[in-house]
Chain A
Amino acid sequence: MGDPTGFLKNNRKVAGYRPVEQRINDYSEVELQLSEDERKLQASRCMDCGVPFCHWSCPVSNIMPEWQDRIFKGEWKEAWELLQETNNFPEFTGRVCPALCEASCVLALNDEAVTIRQNELAVIEKAFELGLVKANPPKTRSGKKVAVIGGGPAGLAAADQLNKAGHMVTLFEGTDRVGGYLRYGIPDFKLEKSFIDRRLDIMKEEGVVFKTNSYVGRDVKINDIMKEYDAVCITIGAREARDLPIEGRELSGIHQALDYLTQQNKTCAGDKVCQDSLIAALDKNVLVIGGGDTGSDCVGTANRQGARKVTQIELLPMPSKTRTDSEPWPLWPRLHKTSSSHEEGCERLWCISSKKFIGENGKVKKVLACKVEWVNENGRFNMKEVPGSEFEIEADLVLLAMGFVHVVQKDFVNELGLKLDARGNIDTGADFKTSVDKVFAAGDANRGASLVVYAISEGRGAANAINEFLSK
């Protein structure tokens, strides 16, 4: 805290987005960055709290006050050293994290939170610019081999940590490129993929072996992995998407959000997508079912593809725009958010339930929906259809973004005989150990679909546990 009164002198300032009319025509990142001088002033707003709730709320326990102080002083190297102690990939979280830290920032109690996420991004990008982030392979090797299955943020964090600990790490990725949801879920306009490649290059140089197109259970046998490696870390995410089994689901033009987003990400990467399986929004009435972040990503992508109209519906009521008493500071509040994609044009409806897909010639044309209300019955909110509220939404492309149920079990999870928890994810204790010896699980596969920052935290935790296991 270089300036104890920084928070009194400087207001919160976010860099904001590129203008809608400009950004809607490309897939480059929408968010802007502040100048270095302005960034320092923003960092000076950190109060260096005696009890910093940002640490507490951050899944990777970043120590924000320490590095924000260094930002203010212009000590970028020191800032980066402190940041990389707790977070393997600040360049990802700095772009896509919802910033749990900012919700519990002490300044947010009666003022506006410090711009912690963007401050984090400034540190890591400055570190890359200064050439500080470079391969630093471990000095000694343990001789132990670890297989990491799944190349999302959890797998990457686990691989990075295990490699740094001296183990030989091989990461098996089912698709053609490493990155998981970072690569094929999050659109380029939120996270440009060159930032993933930049990190992967460093990890490769440090000794991590990446095997792409190696879908375990199809391209690679789990038994071979079990034989060859001293420990296995499963980080395959929770990719079993929630479906909407209502009448007309079999019509064409209804897709899972992730399939849609993946295609666009591949296109942005220069891949050719087969015309037969192309999901295109051009000149279509697009309906996104599901009001979460993935849904919002679909909205942004559909608008960029030239959709005629985009509608997003959500089953739950519209959340409050400000904190409610039931979620007091420093808890994470469920707030109504307007993302950059929403700004680009989209009708949003809440308390809407879909009843039937209506099609013509096997193609979806409309969706029959109704309004619902949520009634508090003995402390439980139950959904009730509002009588006579049925209406139709024009839709020739429907994207299902209703979240993910659990880990994909059929490929090798069942084969290994891993015990599952009540929600269908891989069951582990706090030590990330599964029911099978030397097999660990982390990230969404373990805790269910969640944030990138939780995945990194889980990956680090599992790496610790594996390191301990291998050191015995």
Chain B
Amino acid sequence: MPWEVGLAETHQTLVLNDLRGRVRLQTDGQMRTGRDIVIGGLLGAEEFGFGTTTLIVMGCIMMRKCHLNTCPVGIATQDPRLRKRFAGKPEHLINYFRFLAEEVREVMASLGIRKFNDLIGRTDLLEVAPNSHWKAKSANPSLLLHRPAEADKYATYCVQDQIHKIDAILDRTLIEKSKNAIEKKEKVSFSVPVKNTDRTAGAMLSYEISKRYGDDGLPEGTLSVDFNGSAGQSFGAFLAKGVTFRLNGDANDYLGKGLSGGKIVVVPPKGSTFKPEENIIIGNTVLYGATAGEVYVRGVAGERFCVRNSGALAVIEGTGDHCAEYMTGGYLVVLGKVGRNFGAGMSGGIAYVYDVDGNFDYFCNKGMVELSKLDNDEDVSRVKSMIQKHIDNTDSEHAKNILSNWSSTQPKFIKVMPVEYKRALEEMKLKELDKKLEGIIEEEEIGGKA
């Protein structure tokens, strides 16, 4: 769909309903020249996106090999041999946009328009060029060029700021109460109620921490916050190191999104009577893109648990479909049933699943992973320690049962590991061994000489 059609329709509809003044319209798609921009403006846009053109300016030659890591001009690649060939400079882009702006001004001047806002939606300034192409003959652009009568009384471009209601959100309270922790690294703990309209709780708090201390965050266990209630979306998003969020209740989707070193614990509220290991207490898409940190949930998660997790550690008592999808790093222990398509596109990290019914094989997508038992000490001690931490944090009865009957429960654990990841790890180990061997031989040689 060419942008002209969608843009004209959107702009006209918003003007008709006196909503145009409250938004900005952005359009993109093969934007190249100042003329394109002015036409976009006349059809109703005030912001413009540039994709291909800017890449070309930086040296892209439309190789169409972006997916192969062989970009010969070093743009769409991480290969150092190819990146050396990158010849683009920021100045090239600056130059391009300067010329672009200049051309916009020229066109505006030729139309007698002083400010860009004055031309937005002025379809009366556009006329249809004669075109004898057989396809163009039957096209009627009059609807594209329609200017609603309402345009005379309502705003035709953005005149009103958005009200974001961000002044009284939960994070303001969190930051205020955590002041001593943030500024002086003092131990702070407190408790606050939470409700499902409190979204992205902890993100601004984490910003305050990472602004001061970067990736290091706060020392382990500095700040601890207890939440009671139903958390809204993205609870604990980007949570920084040294912060623990403990939620007594349940959580919506995106819990721990982009988790950056913090710890999140979710347990059912005190006095609840349901069996946590059989009930969902957190939503979908948990730990999306998490890079570090820990999550312990006494209960079951929704779908896509640990999707794109690249470094966090998580223990959960059951999950929905697509668990560990596209996971690239970190460790995951599932102490119960999982849904279908487990491990789809998983390229890194390790998942351990307590396969209580013995049918995990059916639920797993084995396109990229292989399954095995806990057949070495490293895996066994990792799983046991993760379960122990889960118990320490959540007091899970279910986990306690598993650990106290370890001789009969251990055989039911299945290790899920990406084939390529395993190969890479083994190679690294071999290299390390080789290095050690070399060291030993050298030492012996030196010893012999002495």
- Contact across chains for B70 and A50 when beta carbons are under 8 A apart: no
Bound Cα distance from A49 to B87, whole angstroms? 18
Return chain B residues, CB-CB under 8 Å to A4.
65, 68, 70
Residue of B nearest to A53 (CB): B61
Residue of B nearest to A107 (CB): B72
Cβ contacts A101-134/B at 8 Å (1 or 0 each):
0000011011100000000000000000000000
B63 to chain A, nearest CB (A): 5
With an 8 A cutoff between CB atoms, is B81 at the interface?
Answer: yes
Bound Cα distance from A109 to B61, whole angstroms? 10
With an 8 A cutoff between CB atoms, is A47 at the interface?
Answer: yes
- Contact across chains for A51 and B61 when beta carbons are under 8 A apart: yes
Contact A106:B72 (CB < 8 A) given known A47-B63, A50-B62, A50-B63: yes
With an 8 A cutoff between CB atoms, is B275 at the interface?
Answer: no
Our pick among A50, A110, A111 for the contact of B65 (Cβ within 8 Å) is A50
Return chain A residues, CB-CB under 8 Å to B119.
none
User: Which of chain B's residues 59-87 have a Cβ closer than 8 Å to chain A?
Assistant: 61-65, 68, 70, 72-73, 79, 81-82, 85, 87
A10 to chain B, nearest CB (A): 13
Return chain B residues, CB-CB under 8 Å to A7.
70, 72
With an 8 A cutoff between CB atoms, is A339 at the interface?
Answer: no
- Contact across chains for B87 and A47 when beta carbons are under 8 A apart: no
Return chain B residues, CB-CB under 8 Å to A48.
65
With an 8 A cutoff between CB atoms, is A8 at the interface?
Answer: yes
User: Which of chain B's residues 247-292 have a Cβ closer than 8 Å to chain A?
Assistant: none
Bound Cα distance from A51 to B63, whole angstroms? 6
Return chain A residues, CB-CB under 8 Å to B70.
4-5, 7-8, 47
Q: How many A-B residue pairs have CB under 8 A?
A: 40
Return chain A residues, CB-CB under 8 Å to B87.
110
Bound Cα distance from A4 to B68, whole angstroms? 8
Contact A49:B63 (CB < 8 A) given known A4-B68, A110-B87: yes
Cβ contacts A32-55/B at 8 Å (1 or 0 each):
000000000000000111110000
Residue of A nearest to B72 (CB): A47
- Contact across chains for B63 and A8 when beta carbons are under 8 A apart: no
Bound Cα distance from A85 to B85, whole angstroms? 35
Size bracket of the B interface: 10 to 19
Bound Cα distance from A49 to B66, whole angstroms? 11
A112 to chain B, nearest CB (A): 12
Return chain B residues, CB-CB under 8 Å to A106.
61, 63, 72
- Contact across chains for B68 and A111 when beta carbons are under 8 A apart: no
A398 to chain B, nearest CB (A): 47
Cβ contacts B87-112/A at 8 Å (1 or 0 each):
10000000000000000000000000
Our pick among A8, A47, A49 for the contact of B81 (Cβ within 8 Å) is A8
- Contact across chains for B73 and A49 when beta carbons are under 8 A apart: no
Bound Cα distance from A107 to B73, whole angstroms? 9
Residue of A nearest to B66 (CB): A50
Return chain B residues, CB-CB under 8 Å to A47.
63, 65, 70, 72
Residue of B nearest to A329 (CB): B61
B397 to chain A, nearest CB (A): 55
Bound Cα distance from A49 to B68, whole angstroms? 12
User: Which of chain B's residues 94-149 have a Cβ closer than 8 Å to chain A?
Assistant: none
Return chain A residues, CB-CB under 8 Å to B85.
110-111
Contact A51:B72 (CB < 8 A) given known A110-B85, A110-B87: no
Bound Cα distance from A110 to B61, whole angstroms? 12
Bound Cα distance from A47 to B72, whole angstroms? 9
Bound Cα distance from A51 to B68, whole angstroms? 16
Return chain B residues, CB-CB under 8 Å to A5.
70
User: Which of chain A's residues 1-42 have a Cβ closer than 8 Å to chain B?
Assistant: 4-5, 7-8
Bound Cα distance from A51 to B82, whole angstroms? 19
Return chain A residues, CB-CB under 8 Å to B81.
8
A452 to chain B, nearest CB (A): 29
Return chain A residues, CB-CB under 8 Å to B65.
4, 47-48, 50
Return chain A residues, CB-CB under 8 Å to B79.
8
Return chain A residues, CB-CB under 8 Å to B82.
8
Bound Cα distance from A8 to B82, whole angstroms? 9
B201 to chain A, nearest CB (A): 46
Residue of A nearest to B84 (CB): A110
B76 to chain A, nearest CB (A): 11
Bound Cα distance from A347 to B110, whole angstroms? 60
B88 to chain A, nearest CB (A): 12
Most B-side CB within 10 Å, residue of A8, A48, A106, A110: A110
B73 to chain A, nearest CB (A): 7
Return chain B residues, CB-CB under 8 Å to A50.
62-65
B155 to chain A, nearest CB (A): 43
- Contact across chains for A110 and B73 when beta carbons are under 8 A apart: yes
Bound Cα distance from A107 to B65, whole angstroms? 14
Bound Cα distance from A111 to B73, whole angstroms? 10
- Contact across chains for A51 and B62 when beta carbons are under 8 A apart: yes
Bound Cα distance from A163 to B278, whole angstroms? 81
- Contact across chains for B73 and A109 when beta carbons are under 8 A apart: yes
- Contact across chains for A111 and B72 when beta carbons are under 8 A apart: yes
Return chain A residues, CB-CB under 8 Å to B61.
49, 51, 106, 109
A57 to chain B, nearest CB (A): 14
Bound Cα distance from A109 to B87, whole angstroms? 11
A30 to chain B, nearest CB (A): 32
A1 to chain B, nearest CB (A): 9
Bound Cα distance from A47 to B73, whole angstroms? 12
Bound Cα distance from A163 to B362, whole angstroms? 66
Return chain A residues, CB-CB under 8 Å to B64.
49-51
User: Which of chain B's residues 426-446 have a Cβ closer than 8 Å to chain A?
Assistant: none
B80 to chain A, nearest CB (A): 11
Residue of A nearest to B82 (CB): A8
Residue of A nearest to B64 (CB): A50
- Contact across chains for B72 and A110 when beta carbons are under 8 A apart: yes
Bound Cα distance from A61 to B61, whole angstroms? 19
Most A-side CB within 10 Å, residue of B61, B73, B79: B61
Most A-side CB within 10 Å, residue of B62, B65, B68, B72: B72
B108 to chain A, nearest CB (A): 32
Bound Cα distance from A402 to B64, whole angstroms? 44
A69 to chain B, nearest CB (A): 14
Bound Cα distance from A5 to B68, whole angstroms? 9
B15 to chain A, nearest CB (A): 40
Given A4-B70, A47-B70, A50-B65, 17 extra CB contacts under 8 A? A4-B65, A4-B68, A8-B70, A8-B82, A47-B65, A49-B63, A49-B64, A50-B62, A50-B63, A50-B64, A51-B61, A51-B62, A51-B63, A51-B64, A106-B63, A110-B85, A111-B72
Give B residues with C-beta under 8 Å from A. 61-65, 68, 70, 72-73, 79, 81-82, 85, 87
List, sorted by A's number, 29 A–B pairs whose CB atoms are closer than 8 Å. A5-B70, A7-B70, A7-B72, A8-B70, A8-B79, A47-B63, A47-B72, A48-B65, A49-B61, A49-B63, A49-B64, A50-B62, A50-B63, A50-B64, A50-B65, A51-B62, A51-B63, A51-B64, A106-B61, A106-B63, A106-B72, A109-B61, A109-B72, A109-B73, A110-B72, A110-B73, A110-B85, A110-B87, A111-B72
Q: Which are the 3 A-B pairs with shortest beta-carbon distances?
A: A50-B64, A51-B62, A110-B85
